[in-house]
A and B are shown apart, each in its own frame.
Chain A
Amino acid sequence: MATPVLDKADEAGRPEPGFADSPYITVTFRIRRFNPEVSAEATWEDFALEIDPKERVLDGLHKIKWDVDGTLTFRRSCAHGICGSDAMRINGKNRLACKTLIKDINPEKPITVEPIKGLTVLKDLVVDMEPFFQAYRDVMPFLITKDTNEPTRERFQTAEDRERFDDTTKCILCAACTSSCPVFWNDGQYFGPAAIVNAHRFIFDSRDDAGEQRLEILNDRDGVWRCRTTFNCTDACPRGIEVTKAIQEVKRALITRRF
């Protein structure tokens, strides 16, 4: 990406754009632009780029921001799928721009890029994540133990006990799941899949003692029972977490706790 000028051919011997066996193709990025200081309306804007289809959507956004239009605003940090800041709606599906290769999403047609839905858009692709993190904080995503003394040794756990919640430890809080959930789109009061995933991570951790409290929190009117098992969250999760399954496990824990 950082190659300043592509003279004739780059170091790998790739010919520059326009030559017969060039890997570059022309891809149209159709980006949902919104700037509250200019207009209250969001509009689509097309950018045509010469780009190698093996590059990622994020590289395309970088090219636009760095070379074409510096006002394009989006979040990204790690660029390698681990910080969770660049979830966006690409061709109608929530994905991380840094994990989506252009060749995988049909570069023949314009690639649409929109902000994730259900959260207030601040500018272009940047949304207000606060309601998302509020729900996350509400499930107390930290270790709580009955024993309030400083531990004198490591808190041991068997491999099986660790395995129990392994899937939900992988969450990077990108909000792809929550913002793909039609129940969350309505009034944003539903806790949302991400908060439930992170509650699951502690509810089923044998070292934690506040599972009961967290279950009670998710027993709320806007808790797990609002889940309609649409599986949008599982489809959206860039970490491959079985989100809907985690939600179902919390439901089951709530029911078996009573009966």
Chain B
Amino acid sequence: MSTTETTASGVGPVEGAPVHSADNPAPLIEAPRLRTKKTPKSTRGNFEMYGWLFMRLSGVVLVVLVLGHLLIQLVLDGGVSKIGFAFVAGRWASPFWQMWDLAMLWLAMLHGANGLRTVINDYAERADTRLWLKGLLYTATVFTILLGTLVIFTFDPNIR
């Protein structure tokens, strides 16, 4: 700041005489909203892009998997009444249906979890809320995926 007496407008006591010069420059006016340390870091990287792509691709695959699943379980061959322990045991005896169900489990869980993640990002306003909701979401997702995978592979038809 200059030591010369100035009015609020920055003009010296003698009207029109500039107070500032090359040796005595005017104070820098800071931008009203500087990016500060608190501003979240920009995260370059392709995670969001792959997430976005995954949603589209898994969505397309899920249409086939889920509609096929519903058709087999609920419509064909006597419909829903046929489903029982024996039916499930019979299906999971084949690696093809194991893989079908495994793919459906993983894709649906990840698709849903990623969708909820974006919903939380869009709607949770406070950073803490976001953190907790996402923590809960990831825990539930990992638990369900692991449990489901375990059951598909360790299913024992002779358990009874």
Contact = CB atoms under 8 A, between A and B. Distances in A.
B125 A186 contact: yes
B49 A220 contact: no
A186 B123 contact: yes
Interface in B29-57: 31-33, 35, 40, 42-49, 51-53
A189 B46 CA distance: 18
B122 interface: yes
B49 A219 contact: yes
A226 B44 contact: no
Contacts of B125: 186-187
A22 to B, nearest CB: 47
A203 to B, nearest CB: 16
B51 A186 contact: no
The number of chain A residues touching the other chain, given as a range, is 20 to 34
B46 A182 contact: no
B48 A221 contact: yes
A183 B43 CA distance: 18
A255 B32 contact: no
Given A186-B123, A228-B122, A220 B52 contact: no
A134 interface: yes
Contacts of A182: 122
Contact of B43 (A131, A134, A187, A221): A221
Given A189-B40, A225-B51, A226-B121, A219 B45 contact: yes
Contacts of B42: 217, 220-222
B22 to A, nearest CB: 27
Given A130-B33, A225-B52, A186 B43 contact: no
A258 B49 contact: yes
A216 B49 CA distance: 11
Query: Which of A130, A182, A187 gathers most chain B CB within 10 Å?
Result: A187
Given A130-B32, A254-B49, A255-B53, A219 B122 contact: no
Interface string A174-191: 000000001100110100
A255 B49 contact: yes
Given A216-B44, A219-B49, 8 more contacts: A130-B32, A182-B122, A186-B125, A187-B125, A221-B42, A221-B43, A226-B48, A255-B53
23 contacts: A128-B32, A130-B31, A130-B33, A134-B35, A182-B122, A183-B122, A186-B123, A217-B42, A217-B44, A219-B48, A219-B49, A221-B42, A221-B43, A221-B47, A221-B48, A222-B40, A225-B51, A226-B122, A251-B52, A255-B49, A255-B53, A258-B46, A258-B49
